[in-house]
Structure formats: C-alpha cells, structure tokens
Amino acid sequence: MTIAMPVLGAGTFRLKGEDAYNSVTMALEAGYRHIDTAQIYGNEKEVGAAIADSGIARSEIFLTTKIWMDKFGKEAFLPSIRQSLADLQVEYVDLLLIHWPLKNEEVAMSDYLASLKEVKELGMAKQIGISNFTVAQMQQAIDILGTEAIYTNQVEVHPYLQNRKVVDFCLENGIIVTGYMPFAYGDVLKDETIARIAEKHQATAAQTVLAWMRQNEFVTIPSSTKRANIDSNLKASEVVLDEADMAAIAELDRNHRLANPDFAPEWD
C-alpha cells in the first residue's frame, strides 16, 4: 500500500546522534507520520532506531530519504540505497529523492534517474522524486522519466524565497512542491507582517508560516529539537489565513536564498 505524503513532516537536517533520535521520537509521539532524512545528514541510523522503537506500524509512516551525489554512479547507487534501508531498519522508503542535480554531469542525468527508477521497480521506494532541481532540470527529468514518475521536487521555499518559477512549473506538471527551511533559519519568524498576522489569528509566527505553506499546497518539513515547537507546529493545521493575509505574505518575497552551496545549479 502506498500512503499519501502528509503535508506537514518532521525534518532532520542538521540533527545528529541523540538529537536526531529524540526529535523523531517526539515527533512521532506528537502525531507526525511523515519523517524526512537523507544520506548526507548522517542520521539514518538514529532516525531508523526512533521509528523502530516507536512501535508505530511501518505502513503508517511516510519516510523519505535522499541519495547523495557521490552515489549517483551505477556501481554505487543500489548498494547505497540498500545501506540506507539497513540503517533505517526498513524494507522500503516511501519516497527516494535525488538530493542535488549534478552540475558537472560527471554522471549523466539519464543514468542516475534510470537508477532511481530501478530502485522503485525493485520495491525499495514507493515513490521517487527530485530535490533542488531548476525548471530546466525538471523538464530534463520529465523528458527522461515522464511526468507521472516524479512525485515531488523538494526545494527551499519560505515567505522570503517564494521560488515562483519552480513552484508554477511543478503545479503545472502535477509535481508536489516540498518546501524545506520554511522559517529561513528563523529569519521570517521575526518579520513584522508575519507577527501582525499571527496576532490577528492568535497564532504563533511559525504556525502562521506553516498555514501559508499549507494554503499554497506546499508540503513542508521543519525540524526541531524542542517538544513545545514540535507540538505547536502540528496545531498550524487549525490556522486559516484569509486572502488579505495571503496577499500580504506574498509581498514578502525577496529572493532570500539560504541553501546555495558551490555545487548548486544556476537558480531560476
């Protein structure tokens, strides 16, 4: 059975060791059923242990991991996924993503996307997708795999970086937008407009941002090590912004990009 990806997930970026284990444990206890990790985060073992120790049926959890660039070659791809599954203590992930497109084409996109498709065909991933792909790269991926195959593009999205070209292309092609870093490392939580809207709805700034994400049909995966924030973020589902709120937040876009490593593509 393939379950739909819950719109609010628990991210684990930058969480190591005990912090990763505790964060996932608290999220699952709070009611989250969508957990996001990646090979490069170095916490798949802790995430897997937290899921195993939770006692929650595997079929109830939507689990995502991402394959790192040094594993894109044919000889490394499948063994790295098998290692991820072993570390996560699962037989499959619900979603496997290409973490970043290769800038240098050292491995051709057609080759690593063929390997990604093979993982799905072997039953080790229920869905496959991409992360940090530009419009041109998404078009290339669609030409290789077909639109139906690409479940999501996980990209940086928050009120200060609304990434509209990428978002519009995803929506036009039936690709779910998963927005990471929804709070821009806390930058947007200090915004006066967000604070004003939050006060109007008797909500927190974080709940207001998460409501904005949800009402734009974005999935999002904030991470936290604090029980209060984990619980509070879940309650964002009760916050409903009106058209004026949504319009005001739309005005906050300022191309404030935080995830921009030297291997990043040429952004739209």
How is the chain split among helix, strand and coil, in percent rounded to 5? 50, 15, 35
CA gap 247, 233 in Å, rounded: 22
Contact 189, 222 (CB under 8 A): no
Rounded CA separation 230/218 (Å): 19
Q: Which residues contact 53 (CB under 8 A, 6 or more apart)?
A: 25
- Residue 92 a catalytic site member: no
Q: Which of 21, 32, 41, 151 is catalytic?
A: 41
> Can you tell me the distance from the alpha carbon of 38 to that of 88, in angstroms, rounded to the nearest whole number?
11
Q: Are 241 and 215 in contact (CB under 8 A)?
A: yes
CA 123, CA 114: separation in Å to the nearest integer? 15
Q: Sign of the C-alpha dihedral, residues 257, 72, 33, 30?
A: negative
| DSSP for residue 180 | E
CA-CA distance, 26 to 14, in Å (whole number)?
A: 17
- The set of catalytic residues is 41
